[in-house]
Amino acid sequence: MSEKIYVVTLHKKKDLEGFYTEMKDKGFRLNMKRPISRNTQYWMTEEQAVELRKDNRVWDIEVLEDLKWQREANREPYTISGDFGKNSLGGPLVRQWGQVHCAGNDAQRGKGTYGFNDVINTSVDIFDNGEHVDVVICDDPISYDSEEWYSPSKGVSRFVQYQWFNELNTIVNSIDDDGQTEPTGTITYGQNAATSNYHGIHVAGTVAGQYYGWANEANIYNIATTDPWPSGQTVGPLLMFDYLRAFHLNKPINPITGRRNPTISNHSYGGYYEPNGGDALTFANINYIVYRGVQYNAGNPGPSGWTSAGVEQDFNVKYIDKYSSHSTAVAADVADAIEDGVVIVGSAGNRDMHVAKLNDQDWNNIISTTSNTRYYMRGSWPNTDDSGSIVTGSLSNEDDFRKSSFSNFGPGLDIFAPGHYIYSSFGNTGGADTKYTQGSGNYKGNISGTSMAAPQVA
């Protein structure tokens, strides 16, 4: 039998020196020795390789020429050109400014010059069109027939009218003995011309639209969680992660890539609680505040005094009706989904609140009111630091790259992305999007929020 170069891998690096000596004594011809690696290359026959595999120090032996690699085709860049607008008055061909801000160079981003009333004409290269990736928008129901979902190369829709319950309930329910039933039945996805919901449609367009989005060849899926599908079903914020995990772990092998498609999910929503039973919080409602391990109240005020302004100044208390809410249960579900391989991206929240990192000095800050006692700096589930979600804040459309005035902030956020006056696809309450020729109704609109920033990252 003819000799080939084989890579011999040992279990333990400490066995290398003795192994080198023995192989030399046995007459094996060395091709490459790598002293800091457990891999060594030798010339040998397959017959010798079979025998050497019996050595309990040897982990494996592979033919060197079998180690082949190539650049993935869908990682090549594609170019988009045109007008990118930061204002609210753009014409039918204006793209969303997040594309040029994130993919452009410093000159195109225009710090100090490209501001909220401006439109610039330029071209940028976008890396990775998302082909062979499954994007799941967990949000409002999304209509299936927008032309924004079409593949720019194939001219057919990438929106998958997936039957979550028919396909996955046997898996989600497989160890269920609680007597409760999960959502069932065939899901009906709506048509754009009859759909007033816009939030999920806008998010999907930013993630994966062919014109407004980034991953313009990705497959688009939808889980209706903030409003039901036209057929009436919806999936709650806990059970959603069971379906995501079942979908990810049981999808078929893609015959083109030879592996299961990655799953990217976007969660542009967040949990809240009402510190004053639905009304805006007032100073009179506050019993005490625990801030960085110290309890403050009328008898032990902070540096600025136990007043409305003092409490706001010292402890970032906001006199608003809803506060960001943390949930350990949701954080655990998100973490488990991520461990299974689902990528989860979400919005940081729109309350201009400080968001802490897990176990930092602000993680256990508490506000106690006449209605409840809650942590108030842990962020909005499912996008909290302990969940592992990629927590995204919003950049404004000002030319100095400041955060949006509404955006939550702090070390509990992972990243900021454009979220102010973002153009994207819309429901039937948007303006007619006349650049399309297919679909029963195409609409556009610009809205702002950390909900618009997260899909830039997804």
How many structural domains comprise the chain?
3
Q: Tell whether 305 and 386 lie within a shared domain.
A: no
Alpha carbons 246 and 315: distance in angstroms, whole number = 42
Cβ contact 150:192 at 8 Å: no
Query: Domain for residue 93, yes or no?
Result: no
Among 44, 66, 88, the domain boundary falls at 66
| Alpha-carbon 305 to chain mean position | 41
Cβ contact 144:113 at 8 Å: no
Q: Tell whether 296 and 391 lie within a shared domain.
A: no
Per-residue pLDDT reduced to its tens digit, 348-388 = 999 999 999 999 999 999 999 999 999 999 999 999 999 99
Query: Domain for residue 194, yes or no?
Result: yes
Tokens of 317: 């208390």
**Is residue 179's pLDDT more than 70?**
no
Confidence at 173, pLDDT banded by 50, 70, 90 = confident
Per-residue pLDDT reduced to its tens digit, 416-450 = 999 999 999 999 999 999 888 876 689 999 999 99
Q: Is the peptide bond before 382 cis (omega within 30 degrees of 0)?
A: yes
Provide DSSP, 236-263: -TTHHHHHHHHHHHHPPPBTTTTBPPPE
Provide DSSP, 273-284: E-TTTTSPP-GG
Query: Domain for residue 147, yes or no?
Result: yes
Q: Tell whether 309 and 332 lie within a shared domain.
A: no
Q: Tell whether 296 and 438 lie within a shared domain.
A: no
**Is residue 117's pLDDT more than 60?**
yes
Query: Domain for residue 59, yes or no?
Result: yes
How many other CB atoms are found less than 10 A from the CB of residue 194? Answer: 13
The residue behind tokens 């009402």 is 274
Tokens of 211: 């014109």
CATH code for the domain in which residue 20 is found: 3.30.70.80
Task: Detail the DSSP E strand segments found in 65-205.
Answer: 77-85, 94-96, 119-127, 134-139
Q: Tell whether 196 and 263 lie within a shared domain.
A: yes
> Domain range for residue 386?
134-272+324-457
Nearest to 379 by CA among 315, 331, 325, 417: 325
Query: Domain for residue 440, yes or no?
Result: yes
Longest dimension (CA), the chain: 90
Query: Domain for residue 74, yes or no?
Result: no
- pTM for the model stands at 0.83
Backbone angles phi, psi at 376, to 5 degrees: -130, 5
**Is residue 71's pLDDT more than 50?**
no
Alpha carbons 268 and 42: distance in angstroms, whole number = 54
